[in-house]
Amino acid sequence: MPKMRRKADLPTKTCAACGRSFAWRRKWARDWDEVKYCSDRCRSARGRTAAAPAATPRGR
């Protein structure tokens, strides 16, 4: 059985949608060069703006 790797030893990338770093996963082994997003949520949000406008409190 192969020796386990530490998560810190795996290659990482930065998500194109949220800017967070994410590590290599086995399911991405064949497509690692094409992976751009850290999650399905970021992948589905790729066409939307990066962040929703923040709600400002209204002064009365």
- The model's pLDDT over 41-58, given as tens digits with 9 standing for 90+, comes to 999 987 765 555 445 566
pTM summary value = 0.61
Question: Cα–Cα distances in Å, from 59 out to 19, 48, 53, 54, 56?
Answer: 34, 30, 18, 16, 9
Q: What is the mean pLDDT of residues 24-36?
A: 92
Confidence class for position 6, pLDDT limits 50, 70, 90: confident
Tokens of 22: 């994410």
Q: What is the mean pLDDT of residues 20-25?
A: 92
User: Is residue 1's pLDDT more than 80?
Assistant: no
Q: What is the mean pLDDT of residues 18-25?
A: 93
